[in-house]
Amino acid sequence: MLYHGHMSEQLSLMVLVVALATGLVTSVVATTHMQKSQPAFFRYFLTSILLFNLLILSGLVVRYLQLTLQIPELRPFEGVLPGLLIIMVALKLGWLYAFILMNKALPADMLAKGLPATLAMAGVVIGLVFGGLMIVAWFNHLGSLQQYVNIVFETIIIGSALIATIQLTWLAFKLPGQQRRNSILVFAVYHLCLIGTILVVLIVGWVQPGPQKAVQLMMNGGFLILYNVFPLIWLHWFQPIQTATDSEKFELLGITRREKEIIGLIQAGMTNQEIADKLHISVATVKDHNHNIFKKCGTRNRLELARLFQQGLFR
Protein backbone atom coordinates (compact mmCIF):
# COMPACT_ATOMS: atom_id res chain seq x y z
CA MET A 1 0.00 0.00 0.00
CA LEU A 2 1.35 3.40 -0.98
CA TYR A 3 -0.56 5.27 1.68
CA HIS A 4 0.86 5.27 5.24
CA GLY A 5 -0.80 6.60 8.32
CA HIS A 6 -3.12 5.80 11.18
CA MET A 7 -5.88 3.23 10.98
CA SER A 8 -8.50 5.95 10.46
CA GLU A 9 -6.58 7.31 7.49
CA GLN A 10 -6.24 3.81 6.02
CA LEU A 11 -9.97 3.28 6.49
CA SER A 12 -10.70 6.56 4.69
CA LEU A 13 -8.53 5.37 1.82
CA MET A 14 -10.48 2.11 1.65
CA VAL A 15 -13.72 4.09 1.46
CA LEU A 16 -12.34 6.10 -1.46
CA VAL A 17 -11.23 2.92 -3.24
CA VAL A 18 -14.72 1.43 -2.85
CA ALA A 19 -16.20 4.69 -4.14
CA LEU A 20 -13.95 4.66 -7.21
CA ALA A 21 -14.85 1.03 -7.89
CA THR A 22 -18.52 1.97 -7.71
CA GLY A 23 -17.87 4.71 -10.23
CA LEU A 24 -16.38 2.17 -12.63
CA VAL A 25 -19.48 -0.03 -12.36
CA THR A 26 -21.75 2.98 -12.86
CA SER A 27 -19.81 4.03 -15.96
CA VAL A 28 -20.26 0.59 -17.51
CA VAL A 29 -24.00 0.60 -16.81
CA ALA A 30 -24.40 4.14 -18.18
CA THR A 31 -22.52 3.10 -21.33
CA THR A 32 -24.98 0.29 -22.02
CA HIS A 33 -27.92 2.68 -21.65
CA MET A 34 -26.24 5.23 -23.93
CA GLN A 35 -26.29 2.67 -26.73
CA LYS A 36 -30.08 2.32 -26.45
CA SER A 37 -31.51 5.85 -26.44
CA GLN A 38 -30.99 9.56 -25.75
CA PRO A 39 -27.28 9.54 -26.66
CA ALA A 40 -26.64 13.25 -25.98
CA PHE A 41 -27.77 13.05 -22.35
CA PHE A 42 -25.96 9.79 -21.62
CA ARG A 43 -22.78 11.05 -23.26
CA TYR A 44 -22.55 13.99 -20.85
CA PHE A 45 -23.93 11.87 -18.00
CA LEU A 46 -21.10 9.37 -18.41
CA THR A 47 -18.50 12.11 -18.87
CA SER A 48 -19.55 13.87 -15.64
CA ILE A 49 -19.26 10.60 -13.69
CA LEU A 50 -15.80 9.82 -15.04
CA LEU A 51 -14.43 13.34 -14.51
CA PHE A 52 -15.79 13.54 -10.96
CA ASN A 53 -14.09 10.26 -10.07
CA LEU A 54 -10.83 11.38 -11.69
CA LEU A 55 -11.06 14.63 -9.72
CA ILE A 56 -11.34 12.76 -6.43
CA LEU A 57 -8.53 10.43 -7.46
CA SER A 58 -6.22 13.35 -8.30
CA GLY A 59 -7.07 14.90 -4.93
CA LEU A 60 -6.07 11.63 -3.28
CA VAL A 61 -2.71 11.71 -5.10
CA VAL A 62 -2.14 15.30 -3.93
CA ARG A 63 -2.90 14.23 -0.37
CA TYR A 64 -0.41 11.36 -0.63
CA LEU A 65 2.32 13.66 -1.97
CA GLN A 66 1.66 16.20 0.77
CA LEU A 67 2.16 13.53 3.42
CA THR A 68 5.10 11.84 1.70
CA LEU A 69 6.99 15.02 0.86
CA GLN A 70 5.99 16.67 4.15
CA ILE A 71 4.49 19.65 2.28
CA PRO A 72 1.99 21.37 4.61
CA GLU A 73 -0.07 22.93 1.86
CA LEU A 74 -0.40 22.91 -1.92
CA ARG A 75 1.82 25.60 -3.43
CA PRO A 76 2.22 26.21 -7.19
CA PHE A 77 5.58 25.32 -8.83
CA GLU A 78 6.83 23.00 -6.08
CA GLY A 79 7.78 19.55 -7.34
CA VAL A 80 5.06 17.72 -9.27
CA LEU A 81 2.25 19.43 -7.40
CA PRO A 82 1.88 22.29 -9.91
CA GLY A 83 1.13 19.79 -12.65
CA LEU A 84 -1.49 18.14 -10.46
CA LEU A 85 -2.98 21.55 -9.72
CA ILE A 86 -3.36 22.21 -13.45
CA ILE A 87 -4.91 18.78 -13.94
CA MET A 88 -7.41 19.35 -11.12
CA VAL A 89 -8.39 22.75 -12.53
CA ALA A 90 -8.97 21.18 -15.96
CA LEU A 91 -10.98 18.33 -14.41
CA LYS A 92 -13.17 20.73 -12.46
CA LEU A 93 -13.89 22.84 -15.52
CA GLY A 94 -14.49 19.73 -17.62
CA TRP A 95 -16.86 18.29 -15.03
CA LEU A 96 -18.82 21.55 -14.86
CA TYR A 97 -19.06 21.63 -18.68
CA ALA A 98 -20.42 18.06 -18.81
CA PHE A 99 -22.70 18.59 -15.80
CA ILE A 100 -24.40 21.67 -17.25
CA LEU A 101 -24.90 20.06 -20.66
CA MET A 102 -26.21 16.90 -18.97
CA ASN A 103 -28.88 18.95 -17.18
CA LYS A 104 -29.77 20.72 -20.43
CA ALA A 105 -30.01 17.50 -22.47
CA LEU A 106 -32.04 15.43 -20.00
CA PRO A 107 -35.49 17.01 -20.61
CA ALA A 108 -35.42 16.80 -24.42
CA ASP A 109 -32.08 15.34 -25.55
CA MET A 110 -31.59 18.57 -27.51
CA LEU A 111 -29.14 21.36 -26.81
CA ALA A 112 -29.43 24.98 -27.84
CA LYS A 113 -27.29 25.70 -30.88
CA GLY A 114 -23.91 27.05 -29.87
CA LEU A 115 -24.32 26.24 -26.15
CA PRO A 116 -21.48 23.66 -25.96
CA ALA A 117 -19.09 26.02 -27.75
CA THR A 118 -20.08 28.93 -25.50
CA LEU A 119 -19.54 26.89 -22.34
CA ALA A 120 -16.20 25.61 -23.61
CA MET A 121 -15.03 29.16 -24.36
CA ALA A 122 -16.16 30.35 -20.92
CA GLY A 123 -14.25 27.47 -19.32
CA VAL A 124 -11.06 28.35 -21.19
CA VAL A 125 -11.35 32.00 -20.14
CA ILE A 126 -11.95 31.07 -16.48
CA GLY A 127 -9.00 28.65 -16.54
CA LEU A 128 -6.65 31.22 -18.06
CA VAL A 129 -7.70 33.95 -15.61
CA PHE A 130 -7.34 31.57 -12.66
CA GLY A 131 -3.92 30.39 -13.83
CA GLY A 132 -2.71 33.93 -14.50
CA LEU A 133 -3.75 35.18 -11.07
CA MET A 134 -2.13 32.20 -9.34
CA ILE A 135 1.16 32.85 -11.18
CA VAL A 136 1.09 36.55 -10.22
CA ALA A 137 0.37 35.61 -6.60
CA TRP A 138 3.26 33.13 -6.54
CA PHE A 139 5.83 35.50 -8.04
CA ASN A 140 4.81 38.20 -5.57
CA HIS A 141 4.57 35.80 -2.61
CA LEU A 142 0.95 36.72 -2.01
CA GLY A 143 -0.42 33.72 -0.16
CA SER A 144 -3.66 35.51 0.72
CA LEU A 145 -4.30 36.27 -2.97
CA GLN A 146 -3.78 32.61 -3.85
CA GLN A 147 -6.31 31.58 -1.24
CA TYR A 148 -8.80 34.22 -2.36
CA VAL A 149 -8.51 33.27 -6.05
CA ASN A 150 -8.96 29.59 -5.19
CA ILE A 151 -12.10 30.35 -3.15
CA VAL A 152 -13.58 32.37 -6.02
CA PHE A 153 -12.76 29.57 -8.47
CA GLU A 154 -14.38 26.88 -6.30
CA THR A 155 -17.43 29.10 -5.80
CA ILE A 156 -17.83 29.53 -9.57
CA ILE A 157 -17.61 25.76 -10.14
CA ILE A 158 -20.02 24.64 -7.42
CA GLY A 159 -22.27 27.69 -7.79
CA SER A 160 -22.68 27.16 -11.53
CA ALA A 161 -23.51 23.48 -11.00
CA LEU A 162 -26.02 24.46 -8.33
CA ILE A 163 -27.70 26.99 -10.64
CA ALA A 164 -27.96 24.40 -13.43
CA THR A 165 -29.58 21.95 -11.02
CA ILE A 166 -32.03 24.57 -9.73
CA GLN A 167 -33.05 25.34 -13.31
CA LEU A 168 -33.63 21.64 -14.02
CA THR A 169 -35.68 21.29 -10.83
CA TRP A 170 -37.86 24.25 -11.82
CA LEU A 171 -38.31 22.90 -15.33
CA ALA A 172 -39.22 19.43 -14.07
CA PHE A 173 -42.33 20.77 -12.33
CA LYS A 174 -43.64 22.09 -15.66
CA LEU A 175 -42.94 19.04 -17.82
CA PRO A 176 -45.83 16.98 -19.21
CA GLY A 177 -46.06 13.29 -18.46
CA GLN A 178 -46.19 12.16 -14.82
CA GLN A 179 -43.54 9.44 -15.14
CA ARG A 180 -41.23 11.73 -17.09
CA ARG A 181 -41.82 14.63 -14.71
CA ASN A 182 -41.20 12.53 -11.60
CA SER A 183 -38.11 10.92 -13.10
CA ILE A 184 -36.41 14.22 -13.91
CA LEU A 185 -37.54 15.70 -10.59
CA VAL A 186 -35.85 12.86 -8.68
CA PHE A 187 -32.69 13.38 -10.73
CA ALA A 188 -32.69 17.14 -10.12
CA VAL A 189 -33.58 17.16 -6.42
CA TYR A 190 -30.94 14.56 -5.59
CA HIS A 191 -28.17 16.55 -7.26
CA LEU A 192 -29.55 19.74 -5.72
CA CYS A 193 -29.16 18.26 -2.22
CA LEU A 194 -25.75 16.72 -2.94
CA ILE A 195 -24.20 19.81 -4.52
CA GLY A 196 -25.76 22.05 -1.89
CA THR A 197 -24.15 19.92 0.82
CA ILE A 198 -20.78 20.04 -0.95
CA LEU A 199 -21.02 23.83 -1.08
CA VAL A 200 -21.75 23.96 2.67
CA VAL A 201 -18.75 21.72 3.40
CA LEU A 202 -16.52 23.95 1.28
CA ILE A 203 -17.74 27.06 3.09
CA VAL A 204 -17.02 25.43 6.45
CA GLY A 205 -13.52 24.58 5.20
CA TRP A 206 -12.97 28.19 4.17
CA VAL A 207 -14.20 29.55 7.50
CA GLN A 208 -12.14 27.06 9.51
CA PRO A 209 -9.07 26.29 7.36
CA GLY A 210 -6.63 23.65 8.41
CA PRO A 211 -4.91 20.44 7.38
CA GLN A 212 -7.08 17.76 5.82
CA LYS A 213 -8.10 15.22 8.44
CA ALA A 214 -8.96 11.56 7.98
CA VAL A 215 -12.61 12.39 8.65
CA GLN A 216 -12.54 14.82 5.70
CA LEU A 217 -11.17 12.08 3.47
CA MET A 218 -13.98 9.84 4.72
CA MET A 219 -16.48 12.54 3.78
CA ASN A 220 -14.96 12.79 0.30
CA GLY A 221 -15.35 9.04 -0.06
CA GLY A 222 -18.92 9.21 1.22
CA PHE A 223 -19.84 11.94 -1.26
CA LEU A 224 -18.24 9.97 -4.06
CA ILE A 225 -20.17 6.82 -3.14
CA LEU A 226 -23.44 8.78 -3.11
CA TYR A 227 -22.52 10.39 -6.44
CA ASN A 228 -21.74 7.02 -8.03
CA VAL A 229 -24.52 4.90 -6.53
CA PHE A 230 -27.38 7.26 -7.38
CA PRO A 231 -27.08 6.79 -11.18
CA LEU A 232 -27.45 3.02 -10.70
CA ILE A 233 -30.61 3.51 -8.64
CA TRP A 234 -32.01 6.13 -10.99
CA LEU A 235 -31.32 4.14 -14.15
CA HIS A 236 -33.02 1.07 -12.70
CA TRP A 237 -36.10 2.57 -11.05
CA PHE A 238 -36.60 6.15 -12.22
CA GLN A 239 -34.99 6.85 -15.59
CA PRO A 240 -37.57 7.98 -18.18
CA ILE A 241 -35.97 6.45 -21.27
CA GLN A 242 -37.89 3.43 -22.52
CA THR A 243 -37.04 1.16 -25.44
CA ALA A 244 -40.61 -0.11 -25.92
CA THR A 245 -42.51 0.55 -29.16
CA ASP A 246 -45.27 3.17 -29.27
CA SER A 247 -47.92 0.44 -29.15
CA GLU A 248 -46.31 -1.08 -26.05
CA LYS A 249 -46.15 2.33 -24.41
CA PHE A 250 -49.86 2.93 -25.09
CA GLU A 251 -50.63 -0.48 -23.64
CA LEU A 252 -48.50 0.24 -20.58
CA LEU A 253 -50.44 3.45 -19.95
CA GLY A 254 -53.75 1.65 -20.41
CA ILE A 255 -54.77 3.85 -23.34
CA THR A 256 -57.63 2.33 -25.32
CA ARG A 257 -57.96 2.24 -29.10
CA ARG A 258 -60.52 5.06 -29.02
CA GLU A 259 -58.32 7.19 -26.76
CA LYS A 260 -55.37 6.60 -29.06
CA GLU A 261 -57.51 7.80 -31.97
CA ILE A 262 -58.50 10.93 -30.06
CA ILE A 263 -54.87 11.62 -29.18
CA GLY A 264 -54.04 11.61 -32.88
CA LEU A 265 -56.85 14.08 -33.60
CA ILE A 266 -55.70 16.34 -30.76
CA GLN A 267 -52.20 16.31 -32.23
CA ALA A 268 -53.76 17.30 -35.56
CA GLY A 269 -55.13 20.42 -33.85
CA MET A 270 -58.82 19.51 -33.87
CA THR A 271 -61.22 21.01 -31.34
CA ASN A 272 -63.52 18.90 -29.17
CA GLN A 273 -66.44 19.70 -31.47
CA GLU A 274 -64.48 18.70 -34.58
CA ILE A 275 -63.43 15.44 -32.93
CA ALA A 276 -67.02 14.72 -31.92
CA ASP A 277 -68.25 15.33 -35.47
CA LYS A 278 -65.54 13.14 -37.00
CA LEU A 279 -66.09 10.22 -34.62
CA HIS A 280 -69.87 10.68 -34.47
CA ILE A 281 -69.96 11.01 -30.69
CA SER A 282 -71.07 13.79 -28.35
CA VAL A 283 -68.80 16.59 -27.15
CA ALA A 284 -69.40 15.41 -23.57
CA THR A 285 -68.02 11.97 -24.51
CA VAL A 286 -64.96 13.59 -26.09
CA LYS A 287 -64.36 15.55 -22.89
CA ASP A 288 -64.66 12.37 -20.84
CA HIS A 289 -62.07 10.72 -23.07
CA ASN A 290 -59.83 13.77 -22.75
CA HIS A 291 -60.05 13.60 -18.96
CA ASN A 292 -59.07 9.92 -18.94
CA ILE A 293 -56.21 10.52 -21.37
CA PHE A 294 -54.84 13.42 -19.32
CA LYS A 295 -54.99 11.31 -16.16
CA LYS A 296 -53.24 8.31 -17.73
CA CYS A 297 -50.49 10.41 -19.35
CA GLY A 298 -49.94 12.67 -16.36
CA THR A 299 -50.76 15.84 -18.32
CA ARG A 300 -53.07 18.69 -17.38
CA ASN A 301 -54.36 19.97 -20.70
CA ARG A 302 -54.34 19.49 -24.47
CA LEU A 303 -51.20 21.59 -24.92
CA GLU A 304 -49.17 19.45 -22.51
CA LEU A 305 -50.50 16.29 -24.15
CA ALA A 306 -49.42 17.50 -27.59
CA ARG A 307 -46.00 18.46 -26.28
CA LEU A 308 -45.62 15.07 -24.61
CA PHE A 309 -46.19 13.14 -27.82
CA GLN A 310 -44.20 15.56 -29.98
CA GLN A 311 -41.13 15.04 -27.78
CA GLY A 312 -41.68 11.29 -27.51
CA LEU A 313 -43.70 9.39 -24.94
CA PHE A 314 -41.89 8.89 -21.62
CA ARG A 315 -38.99 11.05 -22.73
Q: What is the pLDDT of residues 170-187, one digit of tens each?
A: 988 877 667 777 888 999
Task: Give the CA radius of gyration of the chain.
Answer: 25
Task: Identify the pLDDT of residue 93.
Answer: 94
CA distance 106 to 184: 8
* pLDDT over 60 (residue 277): yes
Contacts of 187-195 spanning 24+ positions with Cβ under 8 A: 187/106, 187/234, 187/238, 188/103, 190/230, 190/234, 191/161, 191/165, 192/162, 192/165, 192/166, 194/223, 194/226, 194/227, 194/230, 195/158, 195/161, 195/162, 195/165
Q: Output the pLDDT for position 183.
A: 85
With 0-12 / 13-18 / 19 or more C-beta atoms within 10 angstroms meaning exposed / middle / buried, residue 237 is exposed
The answer, yes or no, to whether residue 165 has pLDDT greater than 90, is yes
Q: Examine the domain organization and report whether 87 and 110 are in the same domain.
A: yes
Tell me, yes or no, whether 2 lies in a domain.
Answer: no
Whether 274 and 225 map to the same domain: the answer is: no
Please give the residue range of the domain that contains residue 119.
7-238
Specify if 1 maps to a domain.
no
CATH label of the domain that carries residue 83:
1.20.1070.10
User: Residues 46-56: what's their mean pLDDT?
Assistant: 84
Report which of 248, 163, 154, 223 is spatially closest to residue 16, judged by C-alpha positions.
Answer: 223
Residues 162 and 231 grouped into a single domain: yes
- Residue 191 included in any domain: yes
Same-domain status, 24 and 111: yes
Which pLDDT value is given to residue 76? 47
Residue 216 has pLDDT above 80, yes or no: no
Tell me, yes or no, whether 86 and 162 share the same domain.
Answer: yes
More confident residue, 287 or 144: 287
Domain boundary among 238, 254, 282: 238
The total of structural domains in the chain comes to 2
State the pTM of this model.
0.73
Looking up residue 293, the CATH number of its domain turns out to be: 1.10.10.10
Across residues 246-265, what is the average pLDDT?
77
Same domain, 138 and 251: no
Q: Is the pLDDT of residue 137 over 90?
A: no
Judgement on whether residues 148 and 262 belong to the same structural domain of the protein: no
Structural domain contains residue 92: yes
Between 143 and 289, residue with greater pLDDT: 289
Q: What is residue 312's predicted lDDT score, i.e. its pLDDT?
A: 54
Q: What is the pLDDT of residue 99?
A: 94
What is the share, in percent, of the chain residues with pLDDT greater than 90?
18
Given a cut of 50, is residue 314 above it in pLDDT? no
Q: Which of 217, 238, 259 is the last residue of a domain?
A: 238
Supply the angle between the helices 257-267 and 302-311 in degrees, to the nearest 10.
90
Which H, E and C letters describe 75-93, residue by residue? CCCCCCHHHHHHHHHHHHH
